[in-house]
Amino acid sequence: MPSALPSPRPAAPDPLVALADRCVQCGLCLPACPTYAESRIEAESPRGRIALARAWALGTVEATSTGEDHLDRCLGCRSCEAVCPAGVEYGALLVEARARQRERRPAGVRQRTIEALAARPSLMALALRAYGWLHPFLPARWRPLPAPPRAMTRPSPALSAEDTVALFVGCAAGIYEANLRSAASRCLAMLGVRLHAPDGQTCCGSLHAHAGDTRGAARLAERNRQAFASTPIVLTLASGCHEAVARALPPSAHAVDALDFLAERLATRAGAWRWRSGPERVALHLPCTQRNVVRSVGSLRALLSAIPGLEVVELDAGHGCCGASGAQMLEDRARAETFRAPLLQQLADSGATRLLSANLGCRLHFANGTQVTVQHPLEFLAERLEAPASPRPPAVAD
């Protein structure tokens, strides 16, 4: 008798459906969702988007332009993930859903151009320098970003370095965060730490992944993995880049938010920093990625609380997100400005002299709508530090 045929192996579960099936549809995410708070439409909530993505994956509902719009408008803030009792990995689900969306509907020219520039930091730097030169002559509708600052780096104090840590730079940050890197170098040098920015690193890939270009994000991750192969600690300055950098690193390396790193070092070195005293009121914006992903808010508050005479006003108006959301502030400026408006009004009413935010995208979005100085908290900390009397060598080399 012929032998029995082997039973066919069960089909592997769809990863998107597996992620979606963890949702118990309790609705506790709705109050935390900025887009639901703004619209009060179920399809604009995490629960609604999960149901849509699951139905598309199973083929029970046909994808329509209206449904695609609901997925497009998610800000990716992951506030829902932070409050979910079932532990739904909404960030991973959103990336997978948008990757499939991109197969159904290719990205537009503007999105592809942004991604191409971000993947080539040197080319982006040239484009941003040209934009900075043209900025004063452009009409407002052609100025989606503030003009890049002219680098005014301050050298680091001449202190012996006990150890060296690597610094992730990124894409647009190469131009926009030159002063921030100098400030971070100064703060760390006073703790005996030297910063080094390895060659070969590139964009973190978050912008690509959140738009569904997971292959492009994977290529960038591999380049960063190679660049940081021999560095045990990699500091990140932008909360929006942190998770992608952490995932790209080899097992021997560890990504640390610079605010967490500083707070931890200062806790063991009392008196390492001396502050210039003086009253000042500053506004503090806590980016979604800092609150929900990196979770370095406690470290930031601890650092700011040490500064004598400082009054901090936390911006919490609106719907919980500034609306920048990666490239969305460039793709749909009017909508992004709607989410930003209540925060800018609160900033104006607060009388704060400056606005602090730990994510580059949020800072660019805010700076394009206010005359108040917008900085990373480390830039402000470096300004308030008492400079040592010893001579100074050059700052961190990029």
The pLDDT of residue 398 is above 70 = no
pLDDT tens digits, one per residue of 69-90: 999 999 999 999 999 999 999 9
Q: Does residue 90 fall inside a structural domain?
A: yes
Share of the chain above pLDDT 70, in %: 91
Domain that holds residue 70: 15-104
Band of residue 150 on the pLDDT scale cut at 50, 70, 90: confident
Lateral strand order in the sheet of 193-196: 193-196, 163-167, 233-236, 254-257
Q: Does residue 252 fall inside a structural domain?
A: no
Q: Does residue 22 fall inside a structural domain?
A: yes
Q: Does residue 298 fall inside a structural domain?
A: yes
The pLDDT of residue 5 is above 60 = no
pLDDT on residue 272: 81
Average per-residue pLDDT in the chain? 92
- Give the DSSP letter string of 182-243: HHHHHHHHTTTEEEE--TT----SHHHHHTT-HHHHHHHHHHHHHHTTT-SEEEES-HHHHH
The pTM score is 0.91
Domain termination residue (choose one: 104, 127, 148): 104
Band of residue 247 on the pLDDT scale cut at 50, 70, 90: very high
- Phi then psi for residue 268, to 5 deg, are -100, -5
101-117 mean pLDDT? 95
Q: Which CATH number characterizes residue 49's domain?
A: 1.10.1060.10
Q: Does residue 121 fall inside a structural domain?
A: no
Domain termination residue (choose one: 83, 104, 125): 104
pLDDT on residue 7: 58
339-367 mean pLDDT? 98
Six token digits for residue 365: 């979005």
Number of domains in the chain: 2
Q: Does residue 110 fall inside a structural domain?
A: no
pLDDT tens digits, one per residue of 168-216: 999 999 999 999 999 999 999 999 999 999 999 999 999 999 999 999 9
The pLDDT of residue 391 is above 80 = no
Q: Which CATH number characterizes residue 325's domain?
A: 3.40.50
Domain termination residue (choose one: 60, 78, 104): 104
